Amino acid sequence: MTIPNVTMAWCQHHAKCEWCPDHIETGMPLVTVFFWNKGGPDHKGFNIKKYYHPDCWTGQGLDYLKMNPYVPYIRKKKLELTPEQAKLRYVLLNRKASIDQRKRRLNGNPNKAMLEAELNVRIAELMVEIAPVGGIPKKWLVTQP
Ligand SMILES: [Zn+2]
């Protein structure tokens, strides 16, 4: 992959513009574009430097955009649930929260391990129920200490 790096500076030595037939004169604004390629196991890396008049840099950029017309970026809706599904999801989220609370209260209980295992089974059942109504929330999948 080639990564371009664009800088603008005063031209120190006159250079040939990549875009138009003119040279960029010393003391004029100069756009320098470095393309660098890190290379890989099958090819050597390389660096390319190209010079542009600032207007030419803009011109070639706009030309590129003209060839690649604007496409609006559509954000994917997070959840698309019917009101019934949304209600069910809400109920399941609340059940999970109350199970988490019960788990936290187990500290010091001599039957902690057994009771905790039971509650984990309940959570697994809730996961099966919530999966079709918006998916399993990510934080459910994180084991809490
Ligand atoms: Zn130019």
For the stretch 94-144, pLDDT in tens is 999 999 999 999 988 888 888 888 888 888 889 988 988 988 888 887 765
Planar angle of CA 95, 98, 100, nearest 5 degrees: 110
CA–centroid distance, residue 46 to ligand 1 (Å) = 24
Tell me whether strands 46-52 and 2-10 are parallel, antiparallel or unpaired.
unpaired
CA–centroid distance, residue 1 to ligand 1 (Å) = 26
Planar angle of CA 118, 123, 128, nearest 5 degrees: 130
CA–centroid distance, residue 14 to ligand 1 (Å) = 12
CA–centroid distance, residue 51 to ligand 1 (Å) = 8
Q: What is the CA radius of gyration of the chain?
A: 30
Reported as a single tens digit per residue, the pLDDT across 30-39 is 999 887 777 7
The rounded distance, in Å, linking the Cα atoms of 54 and 32 is 9
Planar angle of CA 129, 135, 140, nearest 5 degrees: 80
Q: What is the pLDDT of residue 140?
A: 85
The rounded distance, in Å, linking the Cα atoms of 85 and 58 is 51
Q: Is 67 in a helix, a strand, or coil?
A: helix
CA–centroid distance, residue 134 to ligand 1 (Å) = 54
The rounded distance, in Å, linking the Cα atoms of 100 and 112 is 13
Find the helix or strand (DSSP H, E) in which 33 lies. strand 29-37
Mean pLDDT of 33-61: 83
CA–centroid distance, residue 11 to ligand 1 (Å) = 13
